[in-house]
Amino acid sequence: MDGVEVLRRIRSFDSKVGILMITGNDDVDLAKETIELGAFDYLLKPIDFDYLSRAVDKLMATAAAGTASTEPAASSTASAHA
């Protein structure tokens, strides 16, 4: 089972939990698919820990505000931190 399948399964029973996808795959179409499936952000390995920290902060702020955690961060793109 790959990460996209895990994301689909999570979404089948919880549409609001925040999910950050972390992968070594820099496929832009895959990044778009995961965002469309409800991932909050798509981060590439090797991890830029500053970017990860900002993504987690945005995810937590979104959750605290009570807005849908499936709405991606404004800077969500596979190349935002490449």
User: What token pair was written down for 68?
Assistant: 């849908």
Joined tokens for residue 31: 């990044």
pLDDT tens sequence across 3-59: 999 999 999 999 989 999 999 999 999 999 999 999 999 999 999 999 999 999 999
70 close to 40: Cβ distance less than 8 angstroms: yes
52 backbone φψ class: left, alpha, beta (φ>0; ψ -120 to 50): alpha
Which domains, ranges and CATH numbers included, belong to the chain? 3-65 (3.40.50.2300)
Q: What is the pTM of this model?
A: 0.75
